[in-house]
């Protein structure tokens, strides 16, 4: 069979997938990137030879696949430093390309004990005419489009250190004007050989004619990060050696290409294996040589487990890391029935608290199926998911015999930035009465780092050494203003004129315009200035906004001119509400002094916020409001004290999207704080915050009396 460019691309991807799922023992201990590259090149060439009639290698042509209809050189590089070299032939190569196509394999090599794993991260094909330098060709093409003369082109060539005398550069400039190059996508550095760097093409976020890229983890529709075989091996060895389990049946929901199944088969050779996935293409890539394996092409959201009957089970895998809302946004078919599955009610459900990760849904569904059996669950998931599942177990009084969260480095395994774990639960043994989950690290799963869980029916991120501050805050925490219409509602001053986020000048009355502070500005203990402003259309929720037409007619016209932006707000909280409604608004919003915190930051900073006109906060902020400065100032010191910060670290989860949300903050009992904090403690907080000494015993006593 004759090889074509189209077939070459398909075979390269298939090669990457297959070679990512096996060990490469010849490479154990090999650190020379050139040796690894040579190994992969030879493996791919042999892979092609077994299927096609091809010519491989040619010292005369100097490329790996020299047939004229293929004309492609193979490049292999580590993901740590994606680059390689190419022979220098002439100066035009940097502009017009290398005269041959490139097929680039980008890998990550991992050695574990006596095994080597190659995880192919990218496979890229670049047409010959696209192999020029990205920045240089971009500049040249722009200059030619602007009718630049020859001297301008020569200056650019010199600035880019293109080697050659004036005569050679002049000839090249004339050629460029007559025949501009295609946009290149490499970074090419001058050297004895060209140094080719591939970061531009790896990070390319657009479709380019002549460039074909395959990225291993580009499978967002199914929320799908396929687990490397070395990691599935490590997990199955842990389950076998540390937990001493011997399951009769092993089930992997959403099994994908079956790496967990392959590793489980090696660790538990006598077990029956069942893999379930909605994607038939992935099931077709599962290793067909795995013994005792049954593959089922069904939707896990509707799959019935009733027909799987046995005495002991291991259910393991890596369910999709994506929320139901995200799947809906990309119109995916892989979505469970839309239901408020945790029975959230009222405003919580409307504002998104009923949104959930698909992995959480799958894990809870399967727990419900197998909770009364002798079974072990081992799932890779975000740590927020393991925590949510644990809470569901406790709140629904589902007994378990073992539970542990084993953290691992998600960037190392999946090249993503997330807090992740192997979450292990066992059912069917002696029931644990301790309402706590141990946390360990994959490097040493037996060592308990800390525990999260319930103590006196209250939930803590760390149940050890908790300051006694837990209760109900005597001052109500509020959330900032929510409008979901930033292009219209958020403004800035430029040359004494208000400008909106559409970069339009806005002529409105100042009566409804208030200073606005974003949570990103809450980095200091006292904040009194902001460059942002917002329109406040209501003084309380659901207030009729018709009054604006009379009191601020220019503002009313501006709002109506932009009504389509308000009408397109997707949140259901605006349904049946007056036009231009906002939320997070009330009497508390208009108090002069506020103590606020960003919900996003991992290290809590409470800021005293005020200005001549009441400062509004956006809806990513949480705050207490006050009528007088001293009460606000002392509250800020209390909340920034080391005692309170220690308490917050025991009740907040820093892996959450908003670690310091209202449900966390309202547990800070101010009266308990006052019993444990002395005047000297608060003066020490002033010193740490680099504030001038302001607090006195008289002011502190007055503050304490206000709670009586």
Residue 82's CB is within 10 A of a number of other CB atoms, namely: 21
pLDDT attached to residue 204: 66
Beta bridge partners of 516: 532, 616
User: In 285-311, which positions are buried (b, 16+ CB within 10 angstroms) versus exposed (e)?
Assistant: bbeeebeebebbeeebeebebeebeee
- pLDDT of 441 over the 90 cut: yes
Residue 255 lies in a domain: yes
Residue 683: in which H helix or E strand, if any? helix 679-688
Q: pLDDT tens across 184-209, in order?
A: 999 988 766 888 998 888 776 555 66
Question: What residue numbers bound the domain in which 661 lies?
Answer: 478-705
The residue from 427, 460, 493 where one domain ends is: 460
The residue from 410, 430, 460 where one domain ends is: 460
User: In 200-236, which positions are buried (b, 16+ CB within 10 angstroms) versus exposed (e)?
Assistant: ebbeeeeeeeebbbbebeeeebbbbbbbbbbbbbbbb
- pLDDT of 430 over the 70 cut: yes
Share of the chain above pLDDT 90, in %: 61
pLDDT attached to residue 43: 93
CATH of the domain at 101: 3.40.600
Q: pLDDT tens across 83-111, in order?
A: 998 888 888 999 999 999 999 999 988 88
Q: Residue 110's closest CA among 233, 3, 247? A: 233
Looking at the structure, tell me whether residues 483 and 411 fall in a common domain. no
Looking at the structure, tell me whether residues 226 and 197 fall in a common domain. no
Looking at the structure, tell me whether residues 489 and 436 fall in a common domain. no
Looking at the structure, tell me whether residues 339 and 383 fall in a common domain. yes
Average pLDDT, the chain: 88
What's the sign of the alpha-carbon dihedral 110, 14, 208, 333?
negative
Beta bridge partners of 517: 617
Distance separating alpha carbons of residues 286 and 187, to the nearest angstrom: 37
Looking at the structure, tell me whether residues 541 and 595 fall in a common domain. yes
Scanning the structure block, which residue is given the tokens 């081992």?
378
Residue 594 lies in a domain: yes
Q: pLDDT tens across 353-368, in order?
A: 444 578 898 999 999 9
Distance separating alpha carbons of residues 318 and 333, to the nearest angstrom: 19
Share of the chain above pLDDT 70, in %: 91
pLDDT attached to residue 588: 96
Provide the 8-state DSSP code for 357: B
Residue 501 lies in a domain: yes
Give the total number of structural domains in the chain: 3
Distance separating alpha carbons of residues 286 and 255, to the nearest angstrom: 9
CATH of the domain at 443: 3.40.50.150
């Amino acid at each position: 069979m004759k090889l074509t460019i189209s077939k070459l691309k398909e075979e390269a991807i298939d090669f990457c997938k297959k070679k990512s799922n096996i060990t490469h023992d010849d490479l154990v201990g090999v650190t020379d990137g050139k040796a690894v590259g040579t190994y992969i090149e030879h493996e791919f060439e042999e892979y092609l030879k077994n299927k096609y009639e091809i010519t491989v290698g040619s010292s005369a042509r100097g490329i790996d696949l020299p047939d004229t209809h293929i004309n492609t050189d193979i490049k292999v590089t580590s993901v740590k430093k994606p680059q390689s070299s190419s022979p220098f032939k002439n100066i035009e190569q940097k502009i017009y390309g290398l005269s041959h196509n490139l097929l680039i394999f980008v890998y990550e090599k991992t050695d574990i004990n006596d095994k080597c794993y190659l995880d192919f991260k990218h496979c890229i094909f670049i047409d010959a005419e696209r192999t020029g330098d990205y920045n240089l060709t971009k500049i040249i093409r722009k200059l030619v489009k602007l009718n630049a003369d020859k001297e301008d082109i020569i200056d650019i060539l010199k600035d880019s250190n293109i080697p050659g005398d004036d005569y050679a550069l002049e000839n090249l400039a004339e050629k460029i004007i007559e025949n501009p190059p295609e946009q290149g996508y490499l970074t090419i550095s001058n050297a004895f050989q060209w140094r080719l760097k591939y970061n531009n093409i790896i990070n390319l976020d657009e479709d380019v004619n002549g460039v074909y890229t395959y990225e291993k983890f580009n499978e967002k529709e199914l929320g799908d990060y396929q687990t490397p075989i070395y990691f599935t091996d490590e997990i199955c060895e842990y389950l076998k050696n540390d937990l001493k389990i011997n399951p009769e049946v092993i089930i992997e929901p959403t099994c994908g290409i079956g790496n967990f199944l392959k590793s489980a088969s090696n660790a538990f050779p006598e077990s029956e294996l069942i893999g379930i996935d909605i994607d038939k293409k992935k099931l077709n890539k599962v290793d067909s040589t795995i013994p005792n394996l049954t593959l089922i092409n069904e939707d896990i959201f509707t799959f019935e487990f009733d027909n799987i009957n046995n005495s002991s089970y291991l259910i393991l895998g890596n369910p999709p890391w994506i929320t139901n809302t995200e799947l809906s946004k990309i119109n995916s078919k892989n979505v469970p029935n839309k239901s408020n599955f945790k029975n959230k009610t009222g405003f919580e459900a409307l504002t998104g608290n009923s949104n959930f990760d698909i992995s959480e849904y799958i894990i809870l569904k399967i727990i419900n199926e197998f909770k009364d059996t002798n079974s072990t669950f081992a799932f890779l998931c975000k740590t927020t998911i393991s925590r949510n599942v644990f809470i569901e177990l406790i709140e629904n009084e589902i007994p378990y015999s073992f539970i542990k969260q084993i953290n691992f480095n998600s960037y190392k395994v999946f090249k993503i930035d997330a807090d992740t774990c192997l979450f292990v639960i066992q059912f069917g043994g002696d029931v644990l009465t301790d309402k706590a989950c141990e946390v360990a690290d994959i490097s040493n799963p037996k060592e308990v780092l800390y525990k999260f869980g319930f103590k006196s029916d209250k939930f803590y991120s760390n149940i050890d050494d908790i300051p006694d501050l837990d209760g109900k805050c005597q001052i109500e925490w509020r959330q900032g203003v929510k409008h979901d219409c930033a292009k219209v509602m958020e403004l800035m001053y430029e040359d004494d004129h208000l400008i909106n986020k559409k970069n339009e000048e806005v002529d409105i009355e100042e009566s409804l315009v208030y200073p606005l502070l974003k949570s990103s500005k809450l980095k200091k203990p006292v904040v009194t200035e902001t460059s942002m402003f917002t329109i406040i259309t209501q003084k309380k929720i659901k207030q009729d906004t018709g009054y604006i037409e009379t009191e601020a007619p220019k503002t009313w016209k501006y709002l109506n001119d932009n009504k389509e932006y308000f009408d397109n707000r997707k949140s259901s909280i605006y349904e049946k509400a007056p036009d231009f409604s906002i939320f997070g608004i009330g009497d508390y919003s208009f108090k002069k002094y506020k103590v606020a915190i960003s919900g996003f930051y991992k290290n809590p900073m409470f800021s005293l916020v005020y200005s001549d006109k009441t400062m509004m906060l956006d809806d990513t902020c949480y705050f207490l409001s006050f009528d007088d400065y001293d009460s606000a100032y002392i509250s800020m010191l209390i909340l920034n004290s080391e005692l309170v910060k220690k308490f917050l670290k025991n009740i907040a989860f820093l892996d959450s999207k908003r670690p310091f949300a209202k449900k966390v903050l309202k547990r800070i009992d101010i009266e308990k704080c006052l019993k444990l904090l002395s005047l000297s403690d608060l003066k020490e907080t002033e010193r740490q915050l680099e504030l001038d000494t302001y607090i006195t015993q008289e002011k502190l006593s007055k503050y304490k009396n206000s709670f009586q």
